Amino acid sequence: MASKAKKFFSRCWRIAKRLFIVLFCLQLIYILLLKWVNPPVTITQIGSLLGGDGLKRDYVRMKEISPYAKLAVMASEDQLFPDHDGFDFKSIEKAVKHNQQSKSLHGASTISQQVAKNVFLWQGRGWFRKSLEVYFTFMIEMIWGKKRILEVYLNVTEMGKGVFGIEAASRYYFDKHARSLTRTEASLIASCMPNPKAYTINPLSKHVAARYPWVLNQMTRMQEDDEIQQLIQ
């Protein structure tokens, strides 16, 4: 009996190792493919569709997006995006301290982390999901590079109830292509992104009304930086 059990567990271990290798290779191929191909669909988008919020999206290339939109999301969500390797450790430390002392939770996810979560994973705060987020963030930083990460971010992020990506948001809010967004329009969209279901543009929520002038000011402050210019052109 002991010999049979040993053989059984040995066989299970071999199968598990092979399965792990196959899954690892498949996900690596998928990451490499997405360096050039847009994600077909994300779990968050499927959830929006099944949850009754609908799914509006229209992927566009970087050259079809207004420089103001690229600048606005960095100004609003991740001002150190050109400089970090996927993680803003100072912001993470501040968020951890705040969350330990307050009932309101603050996040510290970079644009890279948000792309990793939105493209490959599901919404949630569990440690298992966060560990996968760390892995995928590291991989896309290494394989895709900053410009591709920003491009995907601008195409997959929810920017309204059931509205995903800057082109769909531009059409939904302002009836124009993303390449034609003005500074103010781009700052309005960026200001709703922390919680696009609650922070609305039409009607204009108090949060967006208070935040978009700050985003505009940050855009002006950041726009002369050489690394920023390389990303938004």
The pLDDT score that the predictor gives to residue 106 is 45
Average confidence (pLDDT) over 119-141: 91
Cα within 13 Å of Cα(95), Cβ side:
12
pLDDT at residue 148 tops 60: yes
Band of residue 97 on the pLDDT scale cut at 50, 70, 90: very low
| Number of domains composing the chain | 1
Percent of the chain with pLDDT over 90: 73
pLDDT at residue 123 tops 90: no
On whether residue 192 sits in a domain, the answer given is yes
| Long-range own/partner contacts, residues 213-219 (CB < 8 A, 24 or more apart) | 213/187, 215/72, 215/75, 215/76, 215/187, 215/190, 215/191, 216/183, 216/184, 216/187, 218/75, 218/76, 218/79, 219/68, 219/71, 219/72, 219/75, 219/183, 219/186, 219/187
Is residue 168 within 8 A of residue 48, CB to CB? The reply is no
For 178, which DSSP code? G
Full 3-state SS string of 51-71: CCCCCEECCCCHHHCCHHHHH
Tell which wins on pLDDT, 129 or 101: 129
The pLDDT score that the predictor gives to residue 91 is 63
Average confidence (pLDDT) over 162-188: 97
pTM for the model: 0.88
The domain spanning residue 154 has which CATH number? 1.10.3810.10
pLDDT at residue 8 tops 80: no
Band of residue 233 on the pLDDT scale cut at 50, 70, 90: confident
pLDDT at residue 100 tops 80: no
SS3 161: coil
Instruction: Tell me what the pLDDT averaged over the chain comes to.
Output: 89
189-203 residue pLDDT tens: 999 988 999 999 999
The pLDDT score that the predictor gives to residue 63 is 95
On whether residue 5 sits in a domain, the answer given is no
On whether residue 13 sits in a domain, the answer given is no
Tell which wins on pLDDT, 14 or 118: 118
On whether residue 8 sits in a domain, the answer given is no
On whether residue 205 sits in a domain, the answer given is yes
Average confidence (pLDDT) over 88-109: 54
On whether residue 6 sits in a domain, the answer given is no
22-52 residue pLDDT tens: 988 999 999 999 999 999 999 999 999 999 9
On whether residue 24 sits in a domain, the answer given is no
Write out the residue range of the structural domain in which residue 188 sits. Answer: 35-227
CA nearest neighbour of 165 among 52, 31, 41:
41
pLDDT at residue 99 tops 70: no
pLDDT at residue 187 tops 90: yes
On whether residue 23 sits in a domain, the answer given is no
68-94 residue pLDDT tens: 999 999 999 999 999 999 888 776 655
The pLDDT score that the predictor gives to residue 93 is 57
CA nearest neighbour of 123 among 79, 165, 132:
132
Q: How far apart are CA 216 and CA 75, in angstroms?
A: 8
